[in-house]
Amino acid sequence: MTTLLSSYALPLLVVVAIGFVVGFWIVRRSKAPPPPAAQRPHAERRQGEGRGLASEDAAAVADVAGQFLGLNVHVELPGASGPADNLQTLKGVGPRLAAKLNENGIIRFDQLAALTPEQVWTLDQNLDQFKGRIERDRLVEQAAYLARGDKSGFEAKFGNLGES
């Protein structure tokens, strides 16, 4: 028995190591998208990039690592196309949160409705005391109804519109 175990010790060790690696990979892939700040720690809002050799090297490493890992290291929020909407129409959005969204370039329902989970995370990091409100108040879902003009669907799911 001990000769059998000793003769297969190395293959068993390799199989166990591969199992750990595969398990780690599966667990890591099942989690939410990694935060953009962790992907590009040198470029908070892309302002630090290009300010010296170290930052250029870090940008290049992040770009190459992003390609290999399949990550978008340049998260950008969708641009506005048209006049601004009254974001305070959304349940849970008051004047201060609406102003914060506007500061971050979100001025229309269709912009908010089109956000990917990674973009929601990026925007959420810039909302200071309102962090977590996008998901908690389901603002993307609310904005999707209003962006397509489905006021009755909105009211059926979220209650009467509080248009001001």
Beta-carbon-side half-sphere exposure of residue 37 (alpha carbons within 13 Å): 7
Supply the pLDDT for residue 45.
43
Mean pLDDT per 10-residue section of the chain, whose length is 164 residues: 76 86 77 51 42 56 62 54 84 93 89 90 89 92 92 90 60
- Using the CB atoms, write b or e for 34-62: b if 16+ within 10 Å: eebeebbebbeeeebbeeeeeeeebbeeb
pTM of the model: 0.52
CA distance 85 to 60: 38
The residues, ordered by sequence, that sit 6+ positions from 4 with a Cβ below 8 Å of its Cβ are none
